[in-house]
Amino acid sequence: MQAMDGVSVMTQAKKTDSGQLSLFSPSGASGDAKAPPAVAAAAKVALRAVAAPAYGAGEGRKREAASGGAGARLKRSTGRVTAETMARQQRDISVSEFFAKNRHLLGFDNKRKALLMSVKEAVDNSLDACEEAGILPEIEVRLVQTGEDRFRVLVRDNGPGIVKQQIPNVFGKLLYGSKFHRLKMSRGQQGIGISAAGMYGLLTTGKSIRIVSRISPKKAAHHYEIQIDTKTNSPNVVKDAEVEVAWEHGTEVEIELAASYNKGRQSVDEYMEQTAIANPHGRFAYFPPVGEPVMYERGTEVMPAQTDAIKPHPLGVELGMLIKMLHETKSHWLTGFMQTEFCRVGPKVAEEICRRAKLNPRAHPKRIARQEAEKLYKAIQEARLMSPPTNCLAPIGAEQILTGLLKGVKAEFFTASTRPPAVYRGNPFQIEAGLAFGGALGPDPKANEDEPPPEQNGKGRNKNGNGSGGHVPLARIIRFANRVPLLYQQSACCIFKTVIDLEWRRYGLSQSGGSLPQGPVVVMVHMASVWVPFTSESKEAIADYDEIRQEIKLALQDCGRKLSAYLNRRRKMKYQGERRSIFARYIPEVVAACSAINPKIDRASLLTNLSAMATRITAQADEQLDEHGRPIKSIAGMQTDDELGPNVIVVDPDAQDAAAPPSAPPGTLFSQAS
Ligand SMILES: Nc1ncnc2c1ncn2[C@@H]1O[C@H](COP(=O)(O)OP(=O)(O)OP(=O)(O)O)[C@@H](O)[C@H]1O
Ligand SMILES: [Mg+2]
């Protein structure tokens, strides 16, 4: 912070006093006990400046000199803060006040991002609600520009709707929701999302969030207009009326906010496109503020598997939490507590844990002292426990990932891999990866190398590992958490870090140290979990847990191996084709030279024999691959052991336009790898 002169500090103090900034700093900035030193020093100067009478500067100095510096001493003593004055300033901070001041933590740090966040929070809620109610989602997203840097966002779903009594709290109170206290995979988890978007709209335009919700065709739809009271974190209902709507059930949310609309990377357009890829069971109608509406039709009528909420796994519970659970349980016995509060603890395991902890299995949980709880905690860590159940997870599935990628990316080679479920801090999770290469993403930079690529030995031959010598684009990473695209904070995300740490040169791509692989590649990674460990409340990047990193690495390696096998095969075909044309060019010369040495030679049969030999040696040039990257017919003398494995699709680039589904969006975002 820069040093402030008396005038500017006074202006600041007046602003605060007059309440102009009260929405953001109701407690007043100048006397904040927790203010950093520079702010505190400036505040002291301000106090002095305000306390001093309005003399001219020279006059003030004269008077101070006359009083023998007493004034200076006086001013210093008034600036000193005592425990009592601090106590008068210490009070509760409402969660809404906190987030209004720190809205960047929720992702509302600039106008462009604010538009995306509002759409994202509403669409994520709609998808969650539809899936929980077993309804195939139909979601309409409308963006209307209402002024310079001002937009109206409208999102409507065909979900189960929200009961009337809950609407004010859901949209007008932060940290209120149905997902935080359960362990089940869903897009939302914190209970902040949509009310934060409404709060941002209110703060920037003064307009209420508007909701219309209907829970059944037999019931009327309710129209609410709500404002959040940031001081108390509670809803203020501005309008509550019954309305006629044409739809049977669902929710419509409308927010007006200060925002800006751009196309391209990190835009609402990109969010919609990626959401359609990760949610092929959804139908999305997107009306951008400019240009034609975009329809994302369903890729499948099959809903994601229904997931169950699970109880916490004992290994994921920390000591403090265990003590709290012991005090709050309704069980009367320690073994009963273990079995009812946790998953994967049966009677035998519960007895065994009590025995190890040297605690009576029939002890009353509420009477377990802190030291005993610590013993119990240690015994849990040493017990042999099954991993948590995984019916709480609904991965996208390799097949659906391929369908989604095929729909959104015009590439030539596609592969996907789904890892078995794993556990971090007691939370089950599952990693899936997809990879697209070539086609409209760009040419293979190594295709023109004059030797076939080495057999998966991991090392590029030239210094930079890039045989083409020209500019090669960097790979594009698309990240998802519980089917939600993550568009910001890429470099803080565990997915990105794992991608750059992987040795892509092993898989036939170029890569310079510590950066993304180079090539016409799109890499997609999805993490499904009952609790995604986001690095902040804006849910943009996944925290770097070793277990998560390891699973991402294994999934990417699987995709990488298939890519490498495909590239090796294709590059060899090309190489052999080029060799054959060189042979064809020189064989007549060789025949002519031979007959010059020995005129008796049969030129015609020499030509036929040499040509046959060249065709045999370069047989791989004739190989054709099917849509799974497998050779269509085996060619005599050729090895076909480098099968690409399952979940691979190879698209004939020439037939690609014809094969594209008619409803597919323009796909402009994926037309280049970087
Ligand atoms: N379109 C909707 N249909 C049905 N219920 C909804 C809808 N939107 C919100 N809800 C309900 O309102 C709650 C609060 O939504 P909100 O977005 O604020 O939090 P969340 O989705 O639980 O978590 P997160 O902050 O991570 O988004 C949800 O938990 C859900 O129960
Ligand atoms: Mg939400």
Q: Is the CB of 177 under 6 A from ligand 1?
A: yes
User: Closest ligand 1 atom to the C-alpha of 159?
Assistant: 3
**In CATH, what number does 394-674 get?**
3.30.230.10
Of the ligands numbered here, which is closest to the C-alpha atom of 106? 1
Residue 300 pLDDT: 86
> Percent of the chain, pLDDT > 70?
78
Contact between residue 192 and residue 106 where contact means Cβ atoms under 8 Å apart: yes
Residue 455 pLDDT: 44
**Region 434-446: what's the mean pLDDT?**
86
**Region 147-176: what's the mean pLDDT?**
96
Residue 23 pLDDT: 32
At residue 1 the predicted structure's pLDDT band, cuts being 50, 70 and 90, is very low
What is the DSSP annotation of 498-522? HHHHS-GGGGT-EE-TTSPEESSEE
User: Closest ligand 1 atom to the C-alpha of 186?
Assistant: 21
At residue 601 the predicted structure's pLDDT band, cuts being 50, 70 and 90, is confident
Q: How many Cβ atoms sit within 10 Å of the Cβ of residue 216?
A: 10
Residue 360 pLDDT: 96
Q: Is the CB of 190 under 6 A from ligand 1?
A: yes
CATH architecture assigned to 100-296: 2-Layer Sandwich (3.30)
Q: How many Cβ atoms sit within 10 Å of the Cβ of residue 206?
A: 9
Angle of the 603-617 helix axis to the 546-597 helix axis, nearest 10: 170
- Is the pLDDT at 120 greater than 50, yes or no? yes
Tell me which residue of 237, 93, 81 sits closest to 165, measured CA to CA.
237
Residue 568 pLDDT: 85
Of the ligands numbered here, which is closest to the C-alpha atom of 199? 1
Nearest CA to ligand 1 atom 26: 188
Contact between residue 520 and residue 443 where contact means Cβ atoms under 8 Å apart: yes
Contact between residue 272 and residue 408 where contact means Cβ atoms under 8 Å apart: no
User: Closest ligand 1 atom to the C-alpha of 176?
Assistant: 14
Q: Is the CB of 179 under 6 A from ligand 1?
A: yes
Q: Is the CB of 192 under 6 A from ligand 1?
A: yes
Q: Which amino acid is at 15?
A: K
At residue 17 the predicted structure's pLDDT band, cuts being 50, 70 and 90, is very low
Residue 513 pLDDT: 83
Q: How far is CA 410 from CA 178, 442, 644, in A?
A: 39, 10, 20
| pLDDT tens digits for range 643-666 | 677 888 888 766 544 444 433 343
> Percent of the chain, pLDDT > 90?
59
Q: How far is CA 327 from CA 310, 350, 352, 558, in A?
A: 21, 18, 22, 46
Q: Is the CB of 125 under 6 A from ligand 1?
A: yes
Residue 261 pLDDT: 97
Q: Is the CB of 417 under 6 A from ligand 1?
A: no
- Which of 243-257, 361-375, 566-580 comes out lowest in average pLDDT? 566-580
**Region 589-612: what's the mean pLDDT?**
88
Residue 105 pLDDT: 94
CA of 162 relative to ligand 2 center, distance in Å: 13
Of the ligands numbered here, which is closest to the C-alpha atom of 180? 1
CA angle 664, 667, 669 (to 5 degrees): 155
**Region 148-159: what's the mean pLDDT?**
97
Pick from 124, 128, 164 the residue to mutate for probing ligand 1's pocket: most ligand atoms within 8 Å of its CB.
128
Contacts 24+ apart (CB under 8 A), 585-589: 587/611, 587/614
Pairing type for strands 209-214 and 250-258 reads antiparallel
At residue 473 the predicted structure's pLDDT band, cuts being 50, 70 and 90, is confident
Residue 629 pLDDT: 59
Report pTM: 0.77
How much is the mean pLDDT over the chain? 82
Tell me which residue of 488, 485, 515, 519 sits closest to 503, measured CA to CA.
515
CA of 106 relative to ligand 1 center, distance in Å: 15
Nearest CA to ligand 1 atom 10: 125
- Indicate the length of the chain as a whole number: 674
Distance CA 645, CA 137 (A): 33
Q: Is the CB of 312 under 6 A from ligand 1?
A: no
Contact between residue 286 and residue 141 where contact means Cβ atoms under 8 Å apart: yes
Domain ranges in the chain?
A: 6-91, 100-296, 314-382, 394-674
Query: Torsion over CA of 113, 118, 123 and 126, rounded to 10 degrees?
Result: 160
Residue 570 pLDDT: 80
Q: Is the CB of 251 under 6 A from ligand 1?
A: yes
Q: Is the CB of 129 under 6 A from ligand 1?
A: yes
Of the ligands numbered here, which is closest to the C-alpha atom of 191? 1
**What is the residue whose two structure tokens read 């890729």?**
299
| pLDDT tens digits for range 23-73 | 333 333 333 333 334 434 444 433 343 344 433 444 444 444 444 444 444
| pLDDT tens digits for range 315-325 | 889 999 999 99
CA of 241 relative to ligand 1 center, distance in Å: 22
Pairing type for strands 476-481 and 484-486 reads antiparallel
Q: Please give the residue that has the higher pLDDT: either 462 or 566.
A: 566
Burial profile 463-490: b = 16 or more Cβ within 10 angstroms, e = fewer: eebbbbeeebbebbbbbbbbbbbbbbbb
Pick from 140, 170, 213 the residue to mutate for probing ligand 1's pocket: most ligand atoms within 8 Å of its CB.
170
Q: Can you list the positions of beta strands (E) in 591-654? A: 648-650
What is the rounded radius of gyration, in angstroms, for the C-alpha atoms of the chain? 33
Residue 57 pLDDT: 43
For domain 314-382, say whether CATH 1.10.8.50 is its number: yes
At residue 270 the predicted structure's pLDDT band, cuts being 50, 70 and 90, is very high
- Is the pLDDT at 461 greater than 60, yes or no? no
Residue 448 pLDDT: 64
CA of 274 relative to ligand 1 center, distance in Å: 21
At residue 442 the predicted structure's pLDDT band, cuts being 50, 70 and 90, is confident
Nearest CA to ligand 1 atom 14: 177
| pLDDT tens digits for range 340-396 | 999 999 999 999 999 999 999 999 999 999 999 999 999 999 999 998 898 899 999
| pLDDT tens digits for range 484-504 | 999 999 999 999 999 999 999
Q: Is the CB of 214 under 6 A from ligand 1?
A: no
**Region 546-568: what's the mean pLDDT?**
94
User: Closest ligand 1 atom to the C-alpha of 191?
Assistant: 19
Tell me which residue of 358, 368, 378 sits closest to 337, measured CA to CA.
368
- Which of 199-208, 234-243, 540-549, 566-575 comes out lowest in average pLDDT? 566-575
CA of 83 relative to ligand 2 center, distance in Å: 42
